[in-house]
Amino acid sequence: MNNIYKDFFTTLNEYLITLEIDKKHKGIEGCSTQEIESIEKRKGNLPIAYKEYLKSIGKKFLFEFMDAEDMAFDDLDYIEQFGKGIFETNKLKMERPFMVISERRNDYITFIYLDEGDNPKTWIMSEYWDEEEKGENLEIRTDSFTDLILSFFQQSLINFPFTFNWVTEEDKKDKDVVKKRYMNWFRNLQSIEEKINSNSSNNTLVKQLNSKFLEYYLPSKNTIIEELNSFNKTNYKKTISNKIQYIDNLSQQNPNKNENKIVKWIKKYLFNSTQQQ
């Protein structure tokens, strides 16, 4: 039987790397077979969808992709310990096998039941009872684990570009640094669209992933193309201008008339090229 979850997470991994999400943080990395087995020795068999997540992208804390929610294998000891505290605070005793898979800023946890098949629902619980909701702070978060991952993907597409405006003193040395980040993002979005168009998939989960991407990308596609064309044209002109300046400097350093004729011809050629853009 074809493992649709493996294909889904392999595709997601490829998209995140292409889009450079979490590149500046700990990066995208999967768990080894031994690391996954270390969980199963304690918890028993894990749902296939969750295992494929661990194999593909689940080792490190993906701050940007998961909007500061920690679902990392590397932090699982802390996640489970924090979850234990929340269960004790809420005086909730679980009757079924379960696993706490994430926490967000010491505020709430997400867990799955381990007896719900390959792609279980996810449940969310906060640290304290919500009196306005008659004490209920435990509820279904998503109808499946992959639905949770899709929600992270959708939100990361919206949130990630906001990070482009955060610049260090070193970054400020390039006055176009923010503009360049956006242009790089636009090019990466185009690359994902090309991948989708060239690799038709029958995998239902991959189709859902592609749909989330296209919902984000297509409404802005024409604007993105215009921005890239404008940016490329401006950059081309800057490049030509720099080359002309360089040639001027050479001609001033070398008074040879024949060589200066060549310099003038090159400048004329470069100027005409600029005008044609």
Residue 17 is part of a domain; what is its CATH number?
A: 3.40.1580.10
Q: Does the residue 158 lie in any domain?
A: no
Is residue 72 within 8 Å of residue 60, measured between CB atoms?
Answer: yes
Residue 270, both tokens: 């470069």
Q: Do 139 and 257 belong together in one domain?
A: no
Question: Is 0.85 surpassed by the pTM of this model?
Answer: no
Q: Phi and psi dihedrals of 114, rounded to 5?
A: -90, 5
DSSP 66: T
The 3-state DSSP class for residue 226 equals helix
Q: 193 and 139, same structural domain? A: no
Kindly list the averaged pLDDT for each block of 10 residues, start to end, along the chain of length 277. Answer: 87 96 88 97 96 97 95 96 89 90 92 96 81 68 98 96 86 82 94 93 95 96 91 63 55 56 52 51
Task: Please indicate, yes or no, whether residues 34 and 70 belong to a single structural domain of this protein.
Answer: yes
8 Å CB contact between 247 and 263: yes
The pLDDT assigned to 230 comes to 87
Cα–Cα distance, 213 to 227 (Å, whole number): 20
In which residue are the tokens 């044209």 written?
Answer: 233
In a domain, 156, yes or no: no
257: containing domain: 167-277
92 shares its domain with 15 = yes
Residue 154 Cα to chain centre, angstroms: 10
pLDDT at 17: 96
Q: Are residues 14 and 125 in the same domain?
A: yes
